[in-house]
Amino acid sequence: MVHSMLRKVIAGLAFIWAVGWGVSLPAMAADSRSGPEVHTFTLNNGMEVVVIPDHRAPIVTHMVWYRVGSADEPRGYSGIAHFLEHLMFKRTKNLKDGEFSKIVAKNGGQHNAFTSYDYTGYYQNVARDRLELMMQLEADRMANLDLRPDDIATERDVIIEERRLRIDNNPSALLGEQMMAVLYLHHPYGTPVIGWMREMQGLAYEPVMDFYAAHYAPSNAILIVAGDVTPDEVHRLARKYYGSIEGAAVEPRVRPVEPPPVAARRVELRDARVRQPVWERVYTAPSYHRAEGRQGEALAVLSELVGGSPTSRLYKRLVLDAELATEVGTWYTGTAYDLGRFGIYAYPRPEQDPAMARASLEGIEREVEAVLADLIEDGVPEDELERTKRKLVADAVYARDSIAAMAQMFGRALTTGLDVDDVLAWPDRVRAVTADEVLAAARTVLDERGSVTGLLLPKPVDREPSGAGDAP
C-alpha cells in the first residue's frame, strides 16, 4: 500500500486526497480508437462549460473548478486557497450557515471540495432531476458568499487541526512535505497546499475576502456536468444561473520560474512513530502543459514500464529477485500548470533490528539506480514498449466507466493549461510514443541533479545526550 504522502502526490490532492489519479493526465479513451461524447461552450461572462453525456443511469456529477490553487497565493498567506474552500460552505446572502450542505443531503446528494496547487473545485453527485438545484446553490456561493469576521477564527481552528492530523502526526506526510520544499528552490509548488502552520495561524478576514474577490469569478471558472443530461439542457440551466453573474477581469497567472537544478538533495527523517521505513526519490519533470512533443506521454509510459505493476522492472529486481523490498513503484504527475514530478518509492522488508533499516534503504537505492542505469544504457525493447502502451490505453478505457472520474479528468486538464482536444488525443499520443522518445525522456528527467531522495527511518533506540540527538 502506498504510504499517505505518496497517495497525495499521485492523487494531486484531488477530492481532498481521497481519489487517485491513476495515470496523471486524463487518460480516458472510449473504445480502442474513439473518445467520449464531449460538448463545450462559453457563457457571455467568460465561464467555460463542458458537458459529458452518459445516459446509463439517472445521475449527474456537477462540478465547478476555479483556476486558482495554493501556487497562486500571495506570499506570506500559505493555505489561504484551502482555507477559502472550507469557508465556501458557510453562509451566503441567500443561505444560512451550513444550509448548503443540509440542502444537498436532504436531496439525496453527496458533495465535497478539494484544493490543489493549480485549482480549487467543488462537486455534487445527485439524481438528474436535482441538477438545477445544484446549479442554483453553486452559482449563489460564487457570487454571494457572506462571510463575517467571527467565521475566521472558528474555521481557522478546523484547518489547523486538519494539518495536525494529516501532516504533523504523520511521519511519512512530514517527509513528503519536506521533500517538496527542498525539490522546488523557488517555485511555490514547494509550499504545502494546506499551508505552513505559522502562516495558517495568521489568516484573517480581509485577505480571505480579497482572495475570493480576485479569483472566484465566472471568467476564472469551468463548469463540468457529466451524466444523464443533454447539452441543450445544461446550456439552458448554465445561462440561467451562472450566466447571470457579472463577469470580472482576473489577473493572469504569473509565477516564479524555477532555476535549473545543479545538485542532488537528500532529506532524512527519523521518528519514533515510524514502523515502516521508506525510500523514495522525486524528480522535477515537464508537465503535459509544458512538455515538448510527446514528452509527457513518454514519461507516463516510462513510469508504467519501470515501476507501474508487478511485471515492471523495479518490481522484478527488488521484490522478486533481490528480495530487498515488499513493494516498489513509480508515478508521474504530469497534470500541472508548471512543473510535473516523477517519483519512485520502495518499502524494505521488515528488519528485526531497527538499526539495520538504513542499510536496507541503501541497498534499495543501489538496486533502483542500477535498474535506471540499465534502461538508460540499453533502451527499451519494442515488445516491452508495446505491452506497456497497451496496458496504459486499456486502463484509460476502464476509467471511462465513472462519470465522476470523467468530470475530474477534464477539470484537472482544463485548469492546468490543456484543452478538451488534449484530453481526447491522449490515448492516440500514447500509442504513438517511440522507444527513442521514452529513452530521451528518461535521460532528461532521471538526472540526480533535479531530484530529492528521502529516507524515512525509525528513531534509534540508543539516543545521544540531551541537545545532540537526531532532529524529530
Q: Is 316 inside a domain boundary?
A: yes
Q: Is 359 inside a domain boundary?
A: yes
Q: Which of 268-272, 348-352, 362-366, 424-428 has the least mean pLDDT?
A: 348-352
What is the b/e burial string over 159-188, where b = at least 16 CB atoms within 10 angstroms of the residue's CB? bbebbeebbeebbbbbbbbbbbbbbbeebb
d(CA 121, CA 412): 9
- The residue among 241, 276, 293 that closes a domain is 241
The C-alpha cell that represents 232 in the structure block: 441543450
**Does pLDDT of 180 surpass 80?**
yes
pLDDT at 461: 55
Burial of 198 per CB tally in 10 Å (0-12, 13-18, 19+): exposed
Residue 275 sits in the same domain as residue 338: yes
Would you give the distance in Å from CA 279 to the centre of its chain?
21
**pLDDT tens digit string along 207-230?**
999 999 999 999 999 999 999 999
3-class SS of residue 309: coil
Question: Which residue range is the domain that position 425 belongs to?
Answer: 265-458
pTM reported for the whole predicted model: 0.90
- The residue among 209, 241, 273 that closes a domain is 241
Helix (H) or strand (E) holding 61: strand 59-66
Number of folded domains that form the chain = 2
Would you give the distance in Å from CA 99 to the centre of its chain?
29
Residue 144 sits in the same domain as residue 208: yes
Residue 196 sits in the same domain as residue 270: no
**Does pLDDT of 147 surpass 80?**
yes
Residue 287 sits in the same domain as residue 194: no
Q: In this structure, what CATH number is given to the domain that contains residue 48?
A: 3.30.830.10
Q: Is 129 inside a domain boundary?
A: yes
**pLDDT tens digit string along 225-246?**
999 999 999 999 999 999 999 9
**Does pLDDT of 464 surpass 60?**
no
Residue 172 sits in the same domain as residue 298: no
Task: Report the candidate in 408, 16, 64, 38 with the shortest Cα–Cα distance to residue 220.
Answer: 64
**pLDDT tens digit string along 383-413?**
999 999 999 999 988 888 899 999 999 999 9
Residue 440 sits in the same domain as residue 375: yes
Residue 362 sits in the same domain as residue 450: yes
**Helices 99-106 and 131-144, packing angle to 10 deg:** 170
**pLDDT tens digit string along 291-317?**
999 999 999 999 999 999 999 999 999
Going along 76-171, which residue ranges are E strands? 110-115, 120-127
Residue 273 sits in the same domain as residue 224: no
DSSP string, 107-131: TT-EEEEEE-SS-EEEEEEEEGGGH
| Number of neighbours of residue 471 by Cβ within 10 angstroms | 8
Q: Is 179 inside a domain boundary?
A: yes
The question of whether 85 is a catalytic residue gets the answer yes
Residue 353 sits in the same domain as residue 428: yes
Pairing label, strands 265-271, 278-286: unpaired
Q: Is 464 inside a domain boundary?
A: no
Q: Is 185 inside a domain boundary?
A: yes
**Does pLDDT of 329 surpass 50?**
yes
Q: Is 191 inside a domain boundary?
A: yes
d(CA 417, CA 288): 9
Residue 286 sits in the same domain as residue 370: yes
Residue 97 sits in the same domain as residue 182: yes
Q: Which of these is catalytic: 48, 73, 85, 304?
A: 85
Strand order of the sheet with strand 339-348? 265-271, 451-458, 278-286, 339-348, 325-333
d(CA 415, CA 259): 24
pLDDT at 34: 61
Q: Is 288 inside a domain boundary?
A: yes
Residue 198 sits in the same domain as residue 281: no
What is the b/e burial string over 280-309, where b = at least 16 CB atoms within 10 angstroms of the residue's CB? bbbbbbbbbbbbeebbbbbbbbbbbbbbbe
Name beta bridge partners: 453: 266, 281
Average of per-residue pLDDT values in the chain? 90
d(CA 397, CA 138): 31
